[in-house]
Structure 1
Amino acid sequence: MNREFSVSDSVVVNADASVLYDAISDPTKMGSWSPENLGAVVLDPRGGAYVGMTFDGHNKRGRVRWITRSTVTVADPSKAFEFRVYAIGAKSPRFKGANATWRYDFEPVPGGTKVTETWTDDRRKWPDALTFVFDKIVTSGRTFPQFQRRNIAKTLANLQKHYA
């Protein structure tokens, strides 16, 4: 089985790109849309997203909770927001290593803004067999691409519903 390293989906949201960018680029609000994220704490807040901004995300899947540390790699207002997850842990993000990159692109279209959410698996050094087994354990039988497809669809649907 070939490993899939990136999945994405898009939806048109009835809002301006600037409004959606401001909402999504604030990691403290991500819990409003995401099925797993409960929000975040920005480590050096400066009044908006900026490249190099670091935040700790609080996450939950079933009864399991964990914290991730991420750094913003793209902060282009009304156009794109991206962050890279590079540390994870149960109570603090102490285990460092490439994890994932999340990206949001915003494109004005008739009826609002097309929002595209993309997840990229940054675990390139993991052997495929180990990744496959690990993914199935932590996602109740799915690979992470399969699992993230569902999460992305839920996140985008929640965003669309919020701005309906």
Structure 2
Amino acid sequence: MTVDPQAMRDTLRLWPSGVAVVTTALDEERAGMTVSAFTSLCLEPPLIVVSVFKNTRTGSLIAKSGHFGVSILHADQAYIADRFAGRIPLAEGEDRFDGVPLTQAVTGSPLLSEAIAWLDCRLYATYDGVTHWIYIGEVLATYHRETDNAPLIYFDRDYRELQRLPATT
């Protein structure tokens, strides 16, 4: 017995997740996309997992370049998430990265310099996830800023802001 895809979507929309932009570059070509399927895997060696839809330029370029970056967005960066998710139409010849402050990682991946954190990764392993590539990244460098900015959260098909619960006594 298989689960109906819509039932699966309706169930998984109730799982909150952070929002990140996965980026890569090779020569003069760069690509990036918004993801919520990202998690840590291991601390020693430092490994993370991202899931990227197979039919994307970003997924193809990660496979070719052998590296990628993950920029973790803060709550004020929903417009960046929408831009890299393709929800904001681009003018002809415009690039998703245009106007977005960037830092170049050691690997060459462009990282969003205003993100609350980022990870620079070498492609460690690739697995076939039917409709997605499951990329394992070996983390070569990290950055996080000390900030009061809450992370951007995706829940129930919308962006949310994380809020601290009142202390219980």
Question: Which one has a bigger Cα radius of gyration?
Answer: 2
Same fold, TM-score > 0.5, yes or no: no
> TM class, shorter-chain normalised?
under 0.3
1 or 2, which has the higher helix percentage? 1
TM-score in terms of structure 2 length: 0.26
TM-score in terms of structure 1 length: 0.27
